[in-house]
């Protein structure tokens, strides 16, 4: 009887330990699953960054690999267009909730050869789907457009309403200096038409160009001030009830209101002889800018400046001489990385022909490397 009792107790202890181990293992599995499902912010930002680099490159075939099935079904295949094209992006901080993350993304678009530029604000939702990061939705929240109409630049934001007039060709300076010649000599600013333009994320700093036989580039800073003024409020129109009787009037009164007034300052950036500006682009944070210029021989070159107007000496002309190469289609993939295309001239040597393709410039170091 004692032996039987001992046997029963032993079996019970074994079963109890087994169940306990199973419970602990199940809890560990659940914990591991929880860890796998939770999105890491840095990893998710890197994921969005890689995706946006494909967007700027124009490799739309690669984009669908970043989408959930739900997002894929909502996107129609249409013929892509070359203009306006995305030229920079900026990723804001993410809002992470375990297996879901939201990111605010700012996209910048430019139109080559025309005075149009936009800043578009998006919300990206990233989820963890079968242990894989995927974009579940992309929603545009706002936009700022800079455009030209009747030789006047306008700014429109908040997706609605009329554009606000900000600048005309007549507002350009009459004569300016050039960084390419004797500093004391002035040259007449072309006012035939506006060339490409650009703006910063807040829409308060604008690059403006004008083209003709030569080209001019300037930097506009918009300053909004509020002025107090008196408003006379006359006698209100009498209101009538159903019987046609007056219900009363209000006495004339004066009240003080504030009205917003827009002013601007213009700073000269540079002047280009016998050349046409084909694109101007701000870096994502507006600390630097790049200008694509086509000379009279049809070859294009790039000039980079700080937002202060100081020209950067990045030795691009030494690496790619102006008379041997065209540097085109620039865009920023970060604040300090500029991608551009190299096109050798028609009579290029075999060695020069090998340089054809996309290159990236490290603005801080001045180094260039070919993208394979």
Per-residue pLDDT tens for 271-293? 999 999 999 999 999 999 999 99
Round to whole Å and give the CA distance between 70 and 297: 50
The percent of residues in the chain predicted with pLDDT above 90, rounded, is: 66
Domains and CATH numbers, the chain: 41-144 (3.10.450.540)
Return the pLDDT at 232. Answer: 45
Return the pLDDT at 81. Answer: 86
Per-residue pLDDT tens for 89-107? 999 988 988 789 999 999 9
For residues 6-33, average pLDDT: 51
**Looking at per-residue confidence, does 53 or 260 come out higher?**
53
pLDDT classification of 184: cutoffs 50, 70, 90: confident
pLDDT classification of 159: cutoffs 50, 70, 90: low
* DSSP H or E stretch at residue 52: helix 41-57
Return the pLDDT at 313. Answer: 87
Round to whole Å and give the CA distance between 304 and 312: 6
Return the pLDDT at 78. Answer: 75
CA angle, residues 182, 185, 186, in degrees to nearest 5: 135
Pairing state between β 253-272 and 337-344: unpaired
pLDDT classification of 20: cutoffs 50, 70, 90: low
Place of tokens 């019987």: 243
Place of tokens 């996107």: 75
Cβ-contact 336, 364 below 8 angstroms: yes
Length of the chain as a residue count: 372
Return the pLDDT at 34. Answer: 46
Round to whole Å and give the CA distance between 91 and 52: 10
């Amino acid at each position: 009887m004692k032996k039987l009792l001992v046997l029963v107790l032993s079996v019970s202890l074994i079963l109890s330990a087994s169940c306990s181990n199973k419970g602990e293992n199940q809890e560990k599995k659940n914990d591991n699953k929880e860890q796998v499902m939770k999105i890491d912010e840095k990893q998710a930002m890197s994921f969005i960054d890689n995706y946006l680099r494909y967007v700027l490159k124009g490799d739309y075939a690669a984009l669908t690999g970043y989408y959930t099935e739900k997002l894929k079904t909502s996107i129609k295949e249409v013929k892509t267009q070359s203009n306006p094209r995305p030229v920079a992006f900026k990723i804001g901080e993410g809002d992470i909730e375990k297996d879901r993350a939201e990111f605010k993304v700012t996209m910048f678009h430019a139109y080559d050869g025309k005075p149009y530029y936009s800043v578009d604000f998006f919300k990206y939702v990233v989820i963890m789907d079968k242990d894989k990061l995927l974009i579940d939705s992309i929603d545009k929240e706002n936009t700022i457009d800079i455009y030209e109409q009747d030789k006047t630049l306008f700014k429109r934001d908040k997706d609605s309403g009329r554009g606000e007039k900000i600048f005309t060709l007549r507002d350009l300076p009459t004569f300016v200096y050039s960084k390419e010649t004797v500093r004391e000599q002035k040259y007449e600013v072309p006012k035939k038409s506006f060339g490409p333009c650009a703006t910063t994320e807040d829409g308060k700093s604008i690059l403006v160009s004008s083209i003709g036989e030569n080209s001019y580039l300037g930097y506009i800073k918009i300053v909004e001030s509020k002025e107090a003024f008196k408003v006379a409020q006359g006698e209100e129109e009498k209101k009538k009830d159903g019987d046609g009787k007056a219900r009363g009037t209000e006495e004339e009164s004066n009240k003080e209101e504030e009205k917003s007034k827009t002013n601007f300052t213009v700073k000269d950036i540079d002047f280009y002889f016998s050349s046409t500006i084909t694109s101007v682009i701000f870096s994502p944070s507006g600390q630097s800018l790049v200008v694509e210029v086509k000379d009279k021989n049809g070859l294009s070159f790039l000039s980079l400046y700080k937002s202060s107007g100081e020209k950067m000496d990045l030795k691009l002309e030494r690496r790619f001489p102006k008379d041997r190469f065209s540097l085109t289609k620039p865009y920023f993939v970060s604040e300090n990385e500029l991608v551009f295309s190299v096109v050798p001239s028609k009579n290029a040597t075999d060695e020069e022909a090998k340089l054809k393709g996309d290159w990236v410039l490290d603005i801080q170091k001045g180094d260039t490397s070919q993208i394979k």
